[in-house]
Structure 1
Amino acid sequence: MNSLGVVAMPTEYNDDLKPKLKVRFAMLDVRQQKIAEDLQESNQTISAWVNGHKTPPLKKAFRLAKLLDCRIEDLWEYIEDKDE
């Protein structure tokens, strides 16, 4: 909590997945607000997915891919850890 009493939202950054949502949204000329409404999520949640700060639950990822008429692999790139 900061001096104003605001609690920062924890970042759930997943460095194994690189989001490609911005590109897909631009290709389809779709707005994040529309996706948020369709998935019953907040604009902030969609923004966090787009910017890679959070990843959606698997079921939501599949629903998003269906909405955007693509595969999950088209929305996120898996980056394999070299040590694994």
Structure 2
Amino acid sequence: MNLRNNVKIYRVRLDINQQQLGTLVEVSRQTISLIERGDYNPSITLALKLAKVFDCKVEDLFYLEGEDNEKD
């Protein structure tokens, strides 16, 4: 099973760009891009920071491929 995410969906809803999100969670724009593309799995700390910014649960942002909680 692969880890998938809804980070881009939440970021667009918040109307911020990757650079702004990176600043909020103290990582680079490139790291946000890698996460959104599924090329990088964030640490638990970073996942929690992202969830806090988006005011959601970590499970709303990240899920295992094939689970029924996909937001696509």
Is TM-score (shorter-chain normalized) higher than 0.5?
Answer: yes
Q: What root-mean-square deviation, in Å, do the aligned CA atoms of Structure 1 and Structure 2 show?
A: 1.4
Residue 25 in 1 paired to residue 11 in 2?
yes
Instruction: Give the alignment's TM-score, normalised by structure 1.
Output: 0.70
Q: Which structure 1 residue ranges, 5 or more long, are not aligned?
A: 1-14
8 Å CA contact 2:2, 2:64 repeated in 1: yes
Residue 70 in 1 paired to residue 47 in 2?
no
Match of 1:48 among 26, 34, 37: 34
- State the match for 1:36 in structure 2: 22
Distance of 1:68 and 1:50 partners within structure 2: 14
Tell me how far 1:79 sits from its aligned partner: 2.6
- State the match for 1:57 in structure 2: 43
Instruction: Give the alignment's TM-score, normalised by structure 2.
Output: 0.80
Q: Which structure 2 residue ranges, 5 or more long, are not aligned?
A: 67-72
- Say how many residue pairs are matched: 66
Q: Which 4+ runs in 1 deviate beyond 4 A?
A: none
Distance of 1:49 and 1:57 partners within structure 2: 11
Distance of 1:66 and 1:36 partners within structure 2: 13
Tell me how far 1:16 sits from its aligned partner: 1.8
| Higher relative helix content | 2
Distance of 1:38 and 1:22 partners within structure 2: 15
